[in-house]
Every structure is written in C-alpha cells, then in structure tokens.
Amino acid sequence: MTSNDAAPKSRFLALHDYGMGGVWWWIQARSAREILETFAWIEVVTDPETARQEEDGELEEVDIDAPRMPPGLDGLRATRHAQRGRPGFGALADRDVVYLRRRWNDEDDEDPAVCLMEVSPDGRRLRQVEPAEDGAAVRSGPDDWPFNPPVVDLFDPELVGLQISREEFEEQWARARRLDVGR
C-alpha cells in the first residue's frame, strides 16, 4: 500500500472478471495502483464510457481502508495480503508484456497441458502456444477464444518462476500450427 495514507482519495471503478461475468465495485482509494496492490485479481476500469454507464448504477462503494470488505472483495484482499511478503511480489506488474510457461487445466481439471503465453498488463492472454509431447504445437489468439478473462494476476509472486524469454515464445509461435476452431 502507499506510504502516504493522508493523500486524498478518489473513486475508481474496479472489476473482478471471472470469464462469464464479473463483480464490480466503486473503490475509494488514493490511486489505481493502491487498489491493485490491495486486491488480487482486480482490474481498475479506466474506460470513460464504462464508468459513465456504472455511475448511476447500484454498485457497492467501499473505502480501501475499511476493516471489513463486502463478500468477494474480502477474499481478494486476503489473497493479496498473503502474497505481499513473499519474494517476487509485484515483480511482473509493471511490464507491458510478460511471457510465461504454465500448466493449463481444462474445465474438468483433467489432462492439464503446458502452455506458453504472451500476457498483457491486465493478465489477459494475447497469444498462446500449446506444445504437444510429440513436438507439434498449436497456436491461438483472442479470436480463437470465446472468452478472454484475466488468466494471471501479475502481482502474484509465483509467476516469477514461470517466466520465459520473448525469444523462446516467438520460436515456439513460429513453429506452431494455427488452432483449427472449425471454421
């Protein structure tokens, strides 16, 4: 959190996007960064049109310094609190693009695959390569996915150990065949 607790607070629109929907709040905080450092899996929505649409809505408004948070937001704060003191916390948060190799489970949590991902600052996939054991690989992008929620929280200290180089990702991308989505 910021060291200047006396700084004035502003109202920020925050979203926890879980793919097929999301939970929204107005959060009073000193900065957008303070929100990201306080709550896991939250994005601060900066699109003016979206903010205008939510301005007169029924969204819950919370103060970042409140001792109790509404359901949903309380667990995201607890997750972030548990991460904060660990080595690597926030190390990837300020990057424009991050390249990762991580296990990806299907919806049924069976047959996990290893995926190489190019990830945007908001934790969404930009491109992905799924190498197979036989050396073949399949590549895909946002047009291939029905939903593209954040798949990683770049403040998570565990992600530091999953980084790969851009060169490794690009090499795999160039070798991979396009995902056939039945077009």
What is the average per-residue pLDDT within 123-146? 92
Q: Name every residue whose Cβ is closer than 8 Å to that of residue 167 and which is 6 or more positions away in sequence.
A: none
Residue 90 located in a structural domain = no
Residue 34 located in a structural domain = yes
Residue 154 located in a structural domain = yes
| pLDDT, tens digit (0-9, with 9 covering 90-100), for 31-86 | 999 999 999 999 999 998 988 888 877 899 999 999 999 999 999 999 999 999 99
User: Residue 126: is its pLDDT beyond 90?
Assistant: yes
pTM: 0.86
- How many domains does the chain contain in total? 2
Residues 108 and 66 both lie in one domain: no
Residue 78 located in a structural domain = yes
Residues 109 and 139 both lie in one domain: yes
What is the average per-residue pLDDT within 131-143? 90
Residues 114 and 163 both lie in one domain: yes
| Predicted pLDDT of residue 84 | 94
Residue 4 located in a structural domain = no
Residues 154 and 125 both lie in one domain: yes
Domain housing 146:
98-178
